[in-house]
Amino acid sequence: MASGEEDGALEEKETNNKKRTKSIIATAWLMFYNIAMTAGWLVLAVAMTRYYFQKGTHKGLYRSIARTLKFFQTFALLEVGHCAIGIVRTSVIVTGVQVSSRIFMVWFITHSIRQVQNQESVILFLVVWTVTEITRYSFYTFSLLKHLPYFIKWARYNMFIVMYPLGVIGELLTIYAALPYVRKAGMYSLRLPNKYNVSFDYYYFLIIVMLSYIPLFPQLYFHMLRQRRKVLHGEVIVEKDE
């Protein structure tokens, strides 16, 4: 064999080895991440159920699980990173919209506006998020292990049909309930005159956020419907936004 060919074969071998090492590290990280997230959301499910049965009311439930919720939902920001560096085959845009809307609900609505924390709508989206995330992260974990029980696959690609709209209703009702408090307190708002000469009204910003669900939510929903057709019915789908 000519030495040029030998060099080429050696280089290819090295590249393949590097790729394999990268993929082992990525898989190990994703295993850890998915197991941690499944466990986190299971802890939330148990804590919420226990609270409700012990106290017999949903009042105070949010406060009792707030820390854990904020931790695990914020941790989900890493998912945008997973897509960006290419270790999962999901669109950065779709994941970015999904994760940022959740982070926004957790930090800029329920954490910031205490008066809404006991609303039924908060419990609605909390229950919906919890059920969805336990299913989603266990789906990813078992997929990586290549032993995915059919009922988890089925749940992942069917439950969202009902859960997604329910979650959106819970989120929108909560933002709506927050509006009067935000207006009254003038929170996160900047009025003129000020040294920067800019004005920002959080109240109107929240209205814009609510309106943004109209164009954005259908895109997430249809993305999931396409995933469903691909995974459950084996349809080949070409994604445009990757």
Ligand X SMILES: CCCCCCCCCCCCC[C@@H](O)CC(=O)SCCNC(=O)CCNC(=O)[C@H](O)C(C)(C)COP(=O)(O)OP(=O)(O)OC[C@H]1O[C@@H](n2cnc3c(N)ncnc32)[C@H](O)[C@@H]1OP(=O)(O)O
Q: Which residues carry out catalysis?
A: 164, 171
Which of 95, 106, 231 has the alpha carbon at shortest distance from 158?
Answer: 231
Q: 122 φ, ψ to 5°?
A: -65, -45
Q: What are phi and psi of 190, to 5 degrees?
A: -125, 115
- Tell me which of 98, 110, 119, 174 binds ligand X, using CB under 6 A: 98
Q: Are 170 and 125 in contact (CB under 8 A)?
A: yes
The span of 9-17, 57-65, 96-104, 180-188 binding ligand X (CB under 6 A) equals 96-104
Q: Toward ligand X, which CB reaches closer, 104 or 181?
A: 104
**Among candidates 161, 178, 193, which has minimal Cα distance to 115?**
178
Q: Does 73 bind ligand X (CB under 6 A)?
A: no
CB atoms within 10 A of CB 205: 14
Q: Enumerate residues 6+ apart whose C-beta is below 8 A from 112.
A: 187, 188
Q: Which of 113, 167, 174, 206 is close enough to bind ligand X by CB under 6 A?
A: 167
Position 89 contacts ligand X (CB under 6 A): yes
- Please identify which residue in 38, 73, 101, 138 interacts with ligand X, judged by CB under 6 A: 101
When asked if residue 110 is in the footprint of ligand X (CB under 6 A), the reply is no
If you compute the radius of gyration of the chain from its CA atoms, what whole number of angstroms results? Answer: 22
Q: Tell me which residues touch ligand X (CB under 6 A).
A: 30, 34, 88-90, 94-95, 97-98, 100-102, 104, 128-129, 132, 136, 140, 143-144, 160, 163-164, 167-168, 171, 209, 212-213, 216-217, 220, 223-224, 227
